[in-house]
Structure 1
Amino acid sequence: MEVDGIQRAVEDEEAPEPEGDVYIPGVHKLENDEVLEADQSVYEMLHQMNVTWPCLSFDVLRDSLGDERRKYPATAYIVSGTQADHSSKNEVLVMKMSQLHRTQKDGADSDSDDDDEDAVDENAVLEYRSIPHFGGVNRVRARPLAPGAGLPPPSEPYHVATWADTGKVHIWDVRPLVESLSTPGYSMDKKRTQQAVYTITAHGRAEGFAMDWSHSSPSSSSPVRLLTGDIASKIYLTTLGTAGFNTANQPFASHTSSVEDIQWSPSEQTVFASCSADRSVRIWDVRVKGRKNVLGIMKSHESDVNVITWNKGTTYLLASGGDEGGIKIWDLRNLKGASTPAPSPVASFSWHTAPITSIEWHPTEDSVFAASGADDQVTLWDLSVEQDEDESGTKEMLNASGEKLKNVPPQLLFVHQGQKDIKEVHWHPQIPGCVVSTASDGFNVFKTISV
């Protein structure tokens, strides 16, 4: 693995500032000899980390370094899985990203770097521990831990689930891997860590992508639950009990095509949402007999619904992203039944020009969310931003000649580019405003001046 904190010509105080118009996705086209260069003045932090094989899914691991961390250099732990060129070469990776320093450069204060305690003159560092994983990893999800909590007590595992392209879902205990990265001299039992705690085989040979853990812990009254959805339209429930994990035989089966994403309700422990290539978003309750959905938005998008995210603060809001590139915000209070016509979304955005690959609400700001698309963009949005009464609802972007280029929604805060084939984006729950994204060419870790 290689680590490369993005460095620009501004390291040379005599280097001229780059010239040229701002690149607008869907408007400008890059020539063969052109490359995008980030404007370092709008990033408080921006690092790029390259890996040997693409990691098309990841999750942020909570750590014991505290919440609301705003000082630099920062440290982040993530878990991911590879898509190698051969099934036997794949791995589950637990990574420690450290020395994530402030990279913001501005001509007005470039001379003050020596006095800035947060400024560090070295590249970020990427360390990792791995577990062999037969088959490519379609999706990775870590069991959520309570806000303010560090690692689980020594007696408790830190569970991570991986959806393999072999049709199996494996559950791992990554606690020893995290400990070995954070504790000097820690002795790890490699033989034990390289064996899955449990494997779900109920999906047969049907692989999948949809997966989500419930927001509970082994010490709470509500059991730990894991939902997994496959391309054969089935959703299975796995529960952790005193005897270990157990997968129910009967699947949830209302979708008519591939289940693309699943999200547990942040407020009701038995309720979850799913989306599918059948263009629907459905709401389920695990207590309902027959394993059928109780509410639904049947034609929520023009094409496949790829991803959903449930707002943790305003829990009646659900966002969805479609294969047509659209993003829609739904008020679940408007749903009337399991198969009634789709209500109108409370907000709809069509900025992206290719399928939405990931979407996630900010962990503490109810109106803010991040999205990524196959058009090589990560976008940050704020629904609280409203247009002036004399505006039509979009901002006009002009080029250097004053020509109109494209209408920009006022809720669009930021567009991050430079990665190829972006697959997933997550907020770091303990570092406010920090965003991590993964693509076929590696990871980006950044924090903008907008959030």
Structure 2
Amino acid sequence: SGRPLSLSFPMGRTVKKAGKSKSKKGKGTKKADASSSAAAAVASGPAKVWQPGVDALEEGEELQFDPEAYNYLRGFSIGWPCLSFDVVQDQLGLVRSEFPHTLYGVAGTQAEKAPWNYIGVFKLSNINGKKREPIPSSKVDADSDMDSDSSSDEEEEEETNEDIKPILHLKKVAHAGCVNRIRSMTQQPHICATWGDTGHVQVWDFKSFLNSVADSGPVAHKEDDIIHNHVPLKIFNGHKDEGYAIDWSPLVTGRLVSGDCNSCIHLWEPSSSTWDVDTKPFVGHSASVEDLQWSPTEGDVFASCSVDGKICIWDVRTEKKPCMPIKAHNADVNVVSWNRYIY
């Protein structure tokens, strides 16, 4: 058994229980029980905000979320646990601040047996919550607002939770082996790439499945449980090992990089309706490539990070060596991201 895919919209607060807790490995507890126990822990106190790197986490202590830190929090299961998911861009507009919300996404499973794996193409709709009020200008205002609004807020929250339920529409597409990572292309969101534990990288066109869930009504159908067989647009088996690192270029439509646990990175270039994958890899890491990300401003430049503790900057126009190798840490570097506000 495992935990299902969950989506939430956090506002950032983590609370530490004051007392000792039971083992952290109990995965059989229902989500509802977990939510209620977390709420009880916060309410009963004493509790405080836990600061990573400042506060120590004692043996037996367990971090709990504060339900009041969220406008909306709910779990959605697509069946098996998922190692990766991605939000698929839609045509519903960029500025969406009012409830109810709708979003589209893709997720890949980690099933008990390899043949049971699939990719979930889904739509979440009728997502309702309570919009957070602006921060009060003074403590007096905050106290008075809290006293006057507490009862009405509780009633509103109960109505939101009980009367307005979110809707999940799901299409399942068979996938050979566990999906280590899945990414949707920015320019053509229905095109997705998956990294499998089989060592294969595949590119898919999920347009028909996204259209199907988009046209779905207010009730989920039984056929949502059917696992569909779908032929990928491209399968690359040139990696010598499985991997997790993969990223679409935000500037060059269809350009892709994939990195494996054998330290190799391959460049994918779009060619009419398929992709040409350079069989000669970029070489500069000495251990597993954990993450890749294209520059948001330079279409030929991408960054990588690795278990070897290095971050490398690459240019596809030069030799397949890093332009700038940086020893960033003595331990693994698992995630890399460009600053999109300072160029």
Considering the TM-score relative to the shorter chain, is it more than 0.5? yes
Deviation at 1:241, TM superposition (A): 1.5
Equivalent residue of 2:199, what SS?
Answer: coil
Look up the match of 1:173: 205
What's the offset of the Cα at 1:119? 4.5
Shift of 1:309: 0.7
Aligned counterpart, 1:130: 172
Determine which structure has the larger helix proportion and give its number.
Answer: 2
The partner residue of 2:333 within 305, 313, 325 is 305
Deviation digits for residues 116-163 of structure 1 (CA, Å, limit 9, x no counterpart): 9x9463343322111100110111111113xxxxxx5xxxx8210000
The residue type equivalent to 1:182 in the other structure is A
- Whether the 8 Å contact between 1:129 and 1:181 is mirrored in structure 2 is yes
Secondary structure of the residue that 1:224 maps to in structure 2?
coil
Once the 2 structures are TM-superposed, how far is the Cα of residue 223 of structure 1 from its aligned partner? 4.8
Rounded to whole Å, the distance in 2 between the matches of 1:265 and 1:78 is: 23
Separation of aligned partners in 2, 1:192 and 1:102: 33
Counterpart residue number, 2:256: 226
Q: CA deviation at 1:312?
A: 2.1
Distance 2:234 2:248 in 1: 15
Instruction: Tell me, yes or no, if structure 1 residue 293 matches structure 2 residue 293.
Output: no
Matched, 1:82 2:122: no
Secondary structure in 2 matching 1:58: strand
8 Å contact kept, 1:79–1:95: yes
Q: Secondary structure at the match of 1:195?
A: coil
- Quote the Cα distance in structure 2 between the aligned partners of 1:209 and 1:266: 21
Q: Tell me, what secondary structure is at the counterpart of 2:255? A: strand
Shift of residue 46 of structure 1?
1.8
CA pair 42-2 structure 1, distance change in 2 beyond 3 A = closer
Change in CA separation of 1:119 and 1:110 when aligned onto 2, cut-off 3 Å: farther
Q: 1:214 aligns with which of 246, 249, 271?
A: 249
- Counterpart in the other structure of 2:82: 55
The residue number in structure 1 matching 2:28 is none
Q: 1:39 to 1:49 in 2, by over 3 A?
A: same
Q: Which residue of 2 aligns with 1:20?
A: 46
Question: For residues 30 and 280 of structure 1, do their structure 2 counterparts lie closer, same or farther at Cα, with a shift above 3 Å needed?
Answer: closer
- For the residue of structure 1 that corresponds to 2:212, the secondary structure is helix
Which amino acid letter does the alignment assign opposite residue 174 of structure 1?
F
State the match for 1:109 in structure 2: 149
Residues 308-332 of structure 1 show CA distances to partners (whole Å, capped at 9, x for unaligned) of 01122223xxxxxxxxxxxxxxxxx
In 2 relative to 1, CA 287–17 (structure 1 residues): closer, same or farther, beyond 3 Å? Answer: closer
In the alignment, is the contact (CA less than 8 A) between 1:213 and 1:226 conserved in 2?
yes
TM-score (norm: length of structure 1):
0.57
Measure how far apart 1:63 and its partner are: 1.0
Distance change >3 Å, CA 7–CA 100, structure 1 → 2:
farther
Establish whether residue 274 from structure 1 lines up as the match of residue 304 from structure 2. Answer: yes
Deviations, residues 44-94 of structure 1 (Å, cap 9, x unaligned):
222222342111111110012111201112112111100111110111111
User: In the aligned structure 2, how far is the partner of 1:196 from the partner of 1:57?
Assistant: 19
SS in 2 for 1:41: helix
- Aligned in 2, Cα 1:272/1:35: closer, same or farther, shift over 3 Å? closer
1:314 aligns with 2:307: no
**1:176·1:193 contact (CA, 8 Å) conserved in 2?**
no
Structure 1 unaligned spans of 5+: 146-151, 217-221, 316-451
How many residue pairs align between the two structures? 288
Higher RCO (CA-CA < 8 Å; seq separation 6+): 1
Alignment of 1:19-418 (within 5 A): 19-22=45-48, 24=50, 27=56, 29=58, 38-103=65-130, 108-112=148-152, 119=160, 121-145=163-187, 158-184=190-216, 194-204=230-240, 206-216=241-251, 222-288=252-318, 290-297=319-326, 299-315=327-343
DSSP-derived class of the 1:144 partner? coil
CA distance in 2, matches of 1:85, 1:252: 34
The residue number in structure 1 matching 2:137 is none
**Residues 82 and 90 of structure 1 are in contact (CA less than 8 Å); yes or no, is this contact kept in structure 2?**
yes
**Which runs of 5 or more structure 2 residues have no equivalent in the other structure?**
7-30, 133-145, 218-223
Deviation at 1:295, TM superposition (A): 1.1
The Cα of 1:8 is off from its aligned counterpart by: 5.1
Letter in 1 for 2:89: R
